[in-house]
Amino acid sequence: MLTVGERFDVHKVILVSCSDYFRSMFTSGMKESNQREIELKGITSKGLEKVIEVIYTSTTTLDGDDIFDVIGAATHMQVGQVVLAVDVVEVVAATSN
């Protein structure tokens, strides 16, 4: 379970498979590898929610203000697939204006 003021039920194996941040946290003997609940700092619950949604479903919807929270969370947690997807959204938005 991950928390950022709000609780999110997740599977460690899923997080490890798509995030260098969690791979390091859960496989290098850090204390978090044995905890059932991990409090994350430096990201918002909205950003975490959207990143988890992408990790589990490969899709999400973004409102105008969400993009900054999602970029922050994805970068912090080193979830490359989300960072790349947001970069594509930014390029498409920039070229359509």
Q: Taking a C-beta distance cutoff of 8 angstroms, is the pair 23, 14 a contact?
A: no
Q: What is the model's pLDDT at position 96?
A: 58
Identify the structural domains of the chain with CATH numbers, from first to last. Answer: 2-96 (3.30.710.10)
End-to-end CA separation in angstroms for the chain = 40
The pTM of the full predicted model, rounded to 2 decimals, is 0.78
Residue with tokens 């589990």: 56
Predicted confidence (pLDDT) at residue 90 exceeds the cutoff of 60: no
Rounded distance between C-alpha atoms, residue 97 and residue 91, angstroms:
10
Predicted confidence (pLDDT) at residue 62 exceeds the cutoff of 50: yes
Tell which wins on pLDDT, 57 or 96.
57
Angle between helices 80-96 and 66-76 (to 10 degrees): 150
List, in sequence order, the alpha helices (H) in the chain: 12-18, 20-27, 45-57, 66-76, 80-96
Confidence class for position 84, pLDDT limits 50, 70, 90: low
